[in-house]
């Protein structure tokens, strides 16, 4: 059910399920049907998903709908902020602190955008404040044949939109170019996909939801029918367990010098 769906009844019924070998959580909520927060004309409907209408191809690779919010909600259990859940948790835990969150569409940032954005992040950071980047490494290791093909096609599709999948490993050197930044620390953690317990199960679900989110655009780029794509990613998900696939999550932390 997308955010702009129309129901004949007065309520919209939403059900979200997450399951793994060790846990299963079901949330079942009845919500009043409300008007969309943004004009519908700003979006277009492609293969069952809502996408922003924009002249920048990099901003229209992933959809903007309920399913994407659910994917990000699962994603933030491993890293990143998700659709605002992390900052809300922090605000509850530290009520005397003030938290401000600015969200953006996933994958809208081209190489040129990064080069413009990082100086601005440094500029607006309070002296003595900290800057933190957490990004996926941009590749999956120990992959089977189907996942290898999917990764190749994803990489090419993003490169045609001038999106740098390797930016995570380059952030440290980009931050080091600023004289007013100190205590720069950069490292990574490896995440199993589909194996090694609950973390692996969650990471696999993140990948499977990503398979679904980018399906319309990847099929369009590579002239692939939806049934063939579904068959390929189903095999790719199974390969993650068989080949014990994994990926790196990079982080870079720095402190702005005090005046």
Cα 38 to Cα 65: distance, rounded to the nearest angstrom: 12
What pLDDT is attached to residue 185?
A: 96
15 domain residue, yes or no: no
- Asked whether residue 246 is domain-assigned, the answer is yes
Asked if pLDDT for residue 76 goes beyond 70, the answer is no
What pLDDT is stored for residue 217 in this prediction?
A: 84
Tell me how far apart the alpha carbons of residues 90 and 101 are, in angstroms, rounded to a whole number: 11
63 falls in which pLDDT band (50, 70, 90)? Answer: low
pLDDT of 146 higher than 90: yes
Residue 93 lies inside a defined structural domain of this protein: no
Q: What is the mean pLDDT of residues 205-226?
A: 88
Q: Count of domains in the chain? A: 1
pLDDT band at 211 (very low <50, low <70, confident <90, very high): confident
Three-class SS of the chain: CCCCCCCCCCEEEEEEEEECCCCEEEEEEEEECCCCCCCHHHEEEECCEEEECCCCHHHHCCCCCHHHHHHHHHHCCCCCCCCCHHHHHHHHHCCCCCCCCCCCCCCCCCHHHHHHHHHHHHHHCCCCCEEEEEEEEEEEECCCHHHHHHHHHHHHHHHHCCCCCCHHHHHHHHHCCCCCEEEEEEEEEEEECCCCCHHHHHHHHHHHHHHHHCHHHHHHHCCCCHHHHHHHHHHHHHHHHHHCCEEEEEEEEEEECCC
b/e string for 71-85 if b means 16 or more Cβ within 10 A?
Answer: bbbbbbbbbebbbee
Question: Is residue 145 assigned to a domain?
Answer: yes
**Which residues constitute the domain of residue 159?**
100-256
Q: 0.85 exceeded by the pTM?
A: no
For range 141-148, the mean pLDDT? 96
Residue 37's pLDDT is what?
Answer: 44
| Domain assignment of residue 202, yes or no | yes
Instruction: State the Cα–Cα distance between residues 51 and 65, nearest whole angstrom.
Output: 8
Asked if 51 and 2 touch (Cβ cutoff 8 Å), the reply is no
Better-scored residue on pLDDT, 26 or 110 = 110
Q: Is 148 inside any structural domain?
A: yes
Residue 188 has pLDDT above 60, yes or no: yes
Task: Tell me, yes or no, whether 164 lies in a domain.
Answer: yes
Question: Is residue 104 situated within a structural domain?
Answer: yes
Q: How many Cα neighbours within 13 Å face the side chain of 140?
A: 27
């Amino acid at each position: 059910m997308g955010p702009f769906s129309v129901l004949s009844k007065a309520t919209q019924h939403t059900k979200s399920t997450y399951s793994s070998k060790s846990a299963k959580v079901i949330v079942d909520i009845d919500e009043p049907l409300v008007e969309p927060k943004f004009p519908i004309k700003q979006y277009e409907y492609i293969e069952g998903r809502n996408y922003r209408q924009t002249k920048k191809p990099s901003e229209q690779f992933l959809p903007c709908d309920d399913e994407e919010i659910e994917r990000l909600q699962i994603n933030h259990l491993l890293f990143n902020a998700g659709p605002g859940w992390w900052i809300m948790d922090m605000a509850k835990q530290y009520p005397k602190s003030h938290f401000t969150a600015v969200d953006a569409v996933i994958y809208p940032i081209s190489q040129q955008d990064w080069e413009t954005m990082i100086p601005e992040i440094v500029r607006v950071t309070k002296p003595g404040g900290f800057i933190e980047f957490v990004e996926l490494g941009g590749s999956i290791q120990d992959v089977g044949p189907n996942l290898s093909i999917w990764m190749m096609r994803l990489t090419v599709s993003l490169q045609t939109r001038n999106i740098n999948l390797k930016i995570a490993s380059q952030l440290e050197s980009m931050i080091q170019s600023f004289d007013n930044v100190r205590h720069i620390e950069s490292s990574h953690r490896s995440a199993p996909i589909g194996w090694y317990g609950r973390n692996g199960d969650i990471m696999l679900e993140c990948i499977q939801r990503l398979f679904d989110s980018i399906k319309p655009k990847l099929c369009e780029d590579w002239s692939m029918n939806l049934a063939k794509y579904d068959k390929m990613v189903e095999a790719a998900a199974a390969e993650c367990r068989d080949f014990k696939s994994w990926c790196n999550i990079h982080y870079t932390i720095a402190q702005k010098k005090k005046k």
